[in-house]
Structure 1
């Protein structure tokens, strides 16, 4: 059973709501190692991850089915305004969970011996970051790494864009991209840099995709700096036979990851 709230109906003035609202700021999330997951899908997936959810704020009567899964979790009935104050969406769904931070050190993630890793270098847009996490989850990748000045994986928009996938696979945060690449190579990964001007065609050599692979994706606007792309074992380009100038980050990631999946089938 969920743990009943102390107050029968919390408002925006409640101390618990005010404390949770602090987590809308990155500094507070970093300091407290907590974040907010908003919406039915995110809360459902968070509750399925043992030990992840600390407490839930929900509008009474709207999410009772989720409450049955909140074993040992403090469940607070709160009014619409209180729950909405914890959300940055236009149409809040009336349920928000306070969750423990998900990121792990990169060496710790690699100790699980993954065979497909996705590295996002300086990815700033939370929607793109969340979509890449979702794509990685969909193809069965075992980890996502955010490097450089990438967006906070616990950003509300990132969590929503992942559609729950952020709770399904390990996420590492590593400040220096070059160090992350070197560590992956030391662990036996072939690092492939997605680069529109890369010398290797994505579909030219399926064998290249069959061993332990780490895909390296760059910023939405400027891609991968040359000095980072050169650190990879191969710079790989996605063929564009049509007239489009390029593919956006999330689309390119999806194409590369599914090509990897296809090569391994």
Structure 2
């Protein structure tokens, strides 16, 4: 037995003033992107690699300078004692690309083959991520819903509200669109360059330009659509209640 009366309402969980699912998702997206600085840090190494490859055709230089640019950004973060998450993400992406380049070189690939190999991890990642996002929507457990759950204190409570599930499904589909578009546009070019249907130089140049053009600009367009959706709705967040 407890001293608390049976009919006394259970205390609600605090959520830093957040009252709607839309506000929760906006806050979580901002945190995930790291703001303007986080987006810039993620983009700089890729831009450096692409520009140097297109202008010098020297793969070693392009990789070295792009890694160096990421390390400079990392050093700045360390000096400022701020989060290094987004710089490390960029370094990880470059590292995976460099690994694929090395694998191509070990198999006797030409400089063009190696440059094409650098772009392959991005295509694979976007294909896998778009499939994962679509799958979570199709089974009725959209990924964005777990963002809501991480704030409300219950990872799955949001799933009991059909209105929230529909909203989170729409937002998850919007996240999947940029990934799917990158695969649809870039994969045929990669395969064409690899097979010789188009000149490897042309394929590498196209992939380099598209990696930038379909990177953050496309992601920001999707996020703008998400913000528009979020601004139109006011879906209450259901807080978890302590059990008796």
Tell me the TM-score normalised to structure 1 length. 0.20
Higher strand share: 1
Larger fraction in helix: 2
